[in-house]
Chain A
Amino acid sequence: MNVVIMGCGRVGAQLAALLDEGGHKVAVLDTEPYSFRRLPSSFNGTALLGDGTDEDSLKKVGIEEADAFVAVTQGDNRNVMAAQIAKHVFNVPKVVCRIYDPLREELYHTLGLETISPTTIGAQMLRDKVIG
């Protein structure tokens, strides 16, 4: 699969490494070159400096050929905007978007985005650890 990841934080970098190990073609986009240090030295994919809410940067990183797009920057709104560009402008078949704010996540989920709220999931997992 051809995957574009926006945001090379801990999650973005680890996701990139996992997909890369699995033999997928991965391209990672980040606005901060220092972030790319998180990628393992064995990483075979592309790392590109750029803004995922900018259509030109997305084209440069190969969004037009991508099968999937994942938005995992620190900013909920940046993720939401980039995901909507990927979905509605470039028609990427699979778009996943991280949204920390559970209420915002709920809304964009109903608007048809595939969303994940680490806040909700994390709290539930911690509760299960505490109670279970």
Chain B
Amino acid sequence: MYIIVVGGGKVGYYLTLALLGEGHEVLVLEKDAKRCELIAEQLGSVCVRGDGCEARTLADVGTERADMFIAVTDEDEDNLVACQVAKHKFKVPRTIARINNPKNEALFKKLGIDVTVSSTNLILEHIEEEVPTHPLVHLLTLRGGALEIVEVRIPSNSSVVGKRMKEIVFPPESVICLMIGGRGAQVPTGDTILEAEAQVIAVTRPEAEGALRAALTE
């Protein structure tokens, strides 16, 4: 595939490196001369100095034959315009924009950008998944948000450690589906004993989330 990347910052550089590694023909458009030199030095003849929003520049680099167009500058408005020019003037079949402000995701979709990638959202998702101090993690929202599946890690200082499932008062419409502890994953019964540091997967209502967390962690 012929892929054009707008913006030769850190994201653009490593993206280009990865795409080249996959055997694609890649071109980076970068405004800054120094940055261009650096990319050319490291990656070869894959960088042209220019503004990725300018139709003339895009024509020169053969945007018409591009299969994919990815805008990853630091400025959301520049990514939007570059993708719109590529899409509407050069009919690039697939346009992808990096979004720095997560609020712009819906807008970009509405304005015809095929795919948006928000690094802020990606990082937030990772934090939710990784950080152990965050005891309740959303795994899935079901049916328009009425029910959700969450994961709770039981801290070792929780009062429920060592208790049987049936001794604990859970909020209404909250069901523990799975406990992953020292003996692996098990579907709990009323007699299952809650273990410290076990992961519990539960179905609950969004409004009962706080109560469920409290029941398992305090």
Chain A contact residues, CB within 8 Å of chain B: 53-56, 75-78, 80-81, 84-85, 88-89, 101, 103-104, 107, 110-111
Q: Which residues of A contact B85 (CB under 8 A)?
A: 104, 107
Within 8 A of A (CB), among B13-43: none
Chain B nearest Cβ from A101, distance in angstroms: 7
Q: Which residues of A contact B110 (CB under 8 A)?
A: 88-89
- How distant is the Cα of A110 from the Cα of B56 in the complex, in angstroms? 17
Q: Does B54 contact A (CB under 8 A)?
A: yes
- How distant is the Cα of A104 from the Cα of B58 in the complex, in angstroms? 12
Contacts A84-B80, A89-B107, A107-B88 known; 12 new A-B pairs at CB < 8 A: A53-B76, A53-B77, A55-B107, A78-B77, A80-B81, A81-B76, A84-B107, A88-B111, A103-B54, A103-B56, A104-B53, A111-B84
Q: Which residues of A contact B143 (CB under 8 A)?
A: none
- How distant is the Cα of A120 from the Cα of B28 in the complex, in angstroms? 30
Determine whether the beta carbon of B54 is less than 8 Å from that of A104.
yes
Chain A nearest Cβ from B98, distance in angstroms: 14
- How distant is the Cα of A9 from the Cα of B80 in the complex, in angstroms? 24
Interface residues on B, range: 20 to 34
- Also in contact, A55 and B103, with CB within 8 A (given A103-B56, A104-B53, A111-B88): yes
Determine whether the beta carbon of A104 is less than 8 Å from that of B77.
no
Q: Which residues of B contact A85 (CB under 8 A)?
A: 107
- How distant is the Cα of A56 from the Cα of B56 in the complex, in angstroms? 34
Determine whether the beta carbon of B103 is less than 8 Å from that of A81.
no
30 examples of A-B residue contacts, CB within 8 angstroms: A53-B77, A54-B101, A55-B103, A56-B103, A76-B81, A77-B53, A77-B75, A77-B80, A77-B81, A78-B77, A80-B77, A80-B80, A80-B81, A81-B76, A81-B80, A84-B80, A84-B107, A84-B111, A88-B107, A88-B110, A89-B107, A101-B53, A101-B54, A103-B56, A104-B53, A104-B54, A104-B85, A107-B89, A110-B88, A111-B84
- How distant is the Cα of A55 from the Cα of B85 in the complex, in angstroms? 23
Q: Which residues of B contact A88 (CB under 8 A)?
A: 107, 110-111
Determine whether the beta carbon of A54 is less than 8 Å from that of B103.
yes
Within 8 A of A (CB), among B69-85: 75-78, 80-81, 84-85
| B88, B107, B110: most-surrounded residue (chain A CB, <10 A) | B107
- How distant is the Cα of A76 from the Cα of B88 in the complex, in angstroms? 17
Q: Which residues of A contact B80 (CB under 8 A)?
A: 77, 80-81, 84
Q: Which residues of A contact B81 (CB under 8 A)?
A: 76-77, 80-81, 104
- How distant is the Cα of A107 from the Cα of B55 in the complex, in angstroms? 9
Chain A nearest Cβ from B29, distance in angstroms: 14
- How distant is the Cα of A10 from the Cα of B126 in the complex, in angstroms? 45
